[in-house]
Amino acid sequence: MDDKPVAAQNGEVGKIAERVEILGVSMANLRQLLLQRLGIPERYRAEQIFRWLYAKQAISFGEMTDLPKSFIPKLEETFEIGRVILQHESLSVDGTRKFLFELSDGRSIETVLIPSEMRDAFGKARRRTLCVSTQVGCPLDCKFCATASMKLKRNLTTAEILLQILEVERLAKEDITNLVFMGMGEPLLNCDNVVEALRIITDPLTELVGKKRITISTSGLPDEIKRLANEGLDVKLALSLHATTNALRTTLMPINKRHPLEEVLSAMEEYYNATHIPITYEYILFDGLNDSEADIKRLAKITRRVPSKVNVIPFHPIDFTAPEGIAATLHAPSAAAFNSFIQRLKEAGVQVMVRSSSGKDIEAACGQLALAHADPAVLQANQKAIYSIRV
């Protein structure tokens, strides 16, 4: 068992007054707390509480009707069940929903629910993918990303990562089928809390999302990639590649200066060798910047190192963040240029997927999360979404 104190694992915001934030506490630590603070030794009591919190999504201990009545006041004295508050919600013309949540310290994050186009017999989306945030803002300054304009405010606690799933399932009244850690922040800069959240999400007792349906997206932090390879979590890993030379990648993603391509690609190879899960390379296509014949050759060479595929994404505008320098010069290719790139990449033997631009009209697409709707002026100006409600 991890012997760090529970409050430390959850971060300073996770502990409110003298009570412990119970969301994000691992099964092992919950058992320890129940024993130490409430004198409850039975494992099955911890499992009951775990099921209530995640599978049945209780928001109060009073709802846990199969626990002895005498436990409830003790649980209420010892633990807190956190919430995030919905501040604003937007619905895209393509069905994507963007949620702006307020955290307990008043800061905000965005979470995006993307329904697949495939429908079942009842007209319900077959896949409902949630894009979760792991930090408030991000320190990495990728030039194509709106979140970078916020800088880093802080890491999310394990509870705050989990709460995005729980609150969206409550609001949407449907289960999330797939999870992508591609919202605000670099997940591997908040590795402890992300790993802890993943352990809870993939615990069968929580009935949340299976490991095969979870993808972590990283800008490429070699040490953390290697750590993740050995955690036994077996989730999919995607690398934000976006360039095939160190010179261009450093211009677009300054982190590449500290961790150049060769170092990052070796770490991805190590991840594959440890997990045997094919790698995904994310490749945002910029007009005239990373779409040459030479790029295709280098990209094909990279993908031959281990089984992998390339997700090609058209660049999404971030004008609403008033970009400067190279960020202001980035443009999406024309539809014809985009399709030609895809075709040539396939001809080079690369397995290619085209990532859709779901939620582009509500600034919910890849690279567009920047709390635009926390600002009432932006909110009022937003006429594009089907609805845009300040709660």
| Alpha carbon distance 31, 40 (integer Å) | 8
Question: Considering the rule CB under 6 A, would residue 138 count as an interface residue with ligand SF4?
Answer: yes
* C-alpha–C-alpha distance, residues 263 and 277, integer Å: 19
Contact between 214 and ligand SF4 per CB under 6 A: no
Catalytic residue among 110, 167, 224, 282: 110
DSSP state of 96: -
Residue 90, token pair as written in the block: 């937007």
Shortest distance in whole angstroms from residue 77 CB to ligand SF4: 39
21 in contact with ligand SF4 (CB under 6 A): no
Q: CB of 314 within 8 A of CB of 291?
A: no
Please, which of residues 239-268 interact with ligand SF4 by CB under 6 A?
none
In whole angstroms, what is the distance from residue 272 CA to residue 256 CA? 21
Measured from the CB atom, the residue of 97 and 242 that comes closer to ligand SF4 is 242
219 makes contact with ligand SF4 (CB under 6 A): yes
Helix ranges, the chain (H): 6-14, 27-38, 43-50, 71-78, 158-172, 191-201, 222-229, 246-252, 255-258, 261-275, 293-303, 335-347, 376-381
Does residue 372 bind ligand SF4 (CB under 6 A)?
no
Answer yes or no: 366 catalytic: yes
**Site stretch for ligand SF4 (CB under 6 A), options 137-145, 167-175, 265-273, 292-300:** 137-145
- 266: nearest Cα among 297, 305, 232: 305
């969301």: which residue's tokens? 23
- Least Å distance, CB 255 to ligand SF4, is 7
- If binding is defined by CB under 6 A, does position 148 make contact with ligand SF4? yes
Q: For ligand SF4, how many residues bind (rule: CB under 6 A)?
A: 12
Q: Which is nearer to ligand SF4, 184 or 279 (CB)?
A: 184
Q: Quick check: 202 binds ligand SF4 (CB under 6 A)? A: no
Give the list of residues 6+ apart from residue 223 with CB closer than 8 angstroms, or none. Answer: 267
Q: Would residue 196 show up in a list of annotated catalytic residues for this protein?
A: no
- Judged by CB under 6 A, the chain residues 155 through 194 that form the site for ligand SF4 are 184-186
Which residues of the shown chain bind ligand SF4 in the complex (CB under 6 A)?
138, 140-142, 145, 147-148, 184-186, 219, 367
Q: Which amino acids are annotated catalytic?
A: 110, 366
